[in-house]
């Protein structure tokens, strides 16, 4: 005995509603993760720039010592 078409359609709609809710939760989680990674990236870039400046300053000091 097969399921009547209307009941089958209702079941499919319910499945789609559940899937939409799941995808919405996953999307929000991914957006939050993306924000976290973007923030972490910005911090790493800042640290990298600071390290670069320090290395350049050390090189400059070493060169000035060589000239003395």
- Domain borders along the chain are 1-68
Q: What is the pLDDT of residue 27?
A: 98
Q: Per-residue confidence at 1, pLDDT binned at 50, 70, 90?
A: low
The terminus-to-terminus CA distance of the chain in angstroms comes to 98
pTM to 2 decimals?
A: 0.66
Q: Per-residue confidence at 2, pLDDT binned at 50, 70, 90?
A: confident
Q: What is the pLDDT of residue 4?
A: 87
Please write the tens of the pLDDT for every residue from 15-53: 999 999 999 999 999 999 999 999 999 999 999 999 999
Which two tokens mark 34? 């993306």
Checking phi first, is residue 58 left (phi over 0); if not, alpha (psi -120 to 50) or beta?
Answer: alpha
């Amino acid at each position: 005995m097969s399921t009547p078409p209307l009941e089958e359609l209702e079941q499919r709609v319910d499945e789609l509603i559940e899937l939409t809710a799941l995808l919405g939760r996953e999307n929000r989680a991914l957006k939050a993760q993306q924000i976290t990674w973007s923030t972490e990236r910005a911090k790493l870039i800042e640290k990298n720039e600071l390290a670069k400046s320090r290395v350049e300053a050390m090189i400059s000091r070493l060169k000035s010592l060589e000239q003395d």
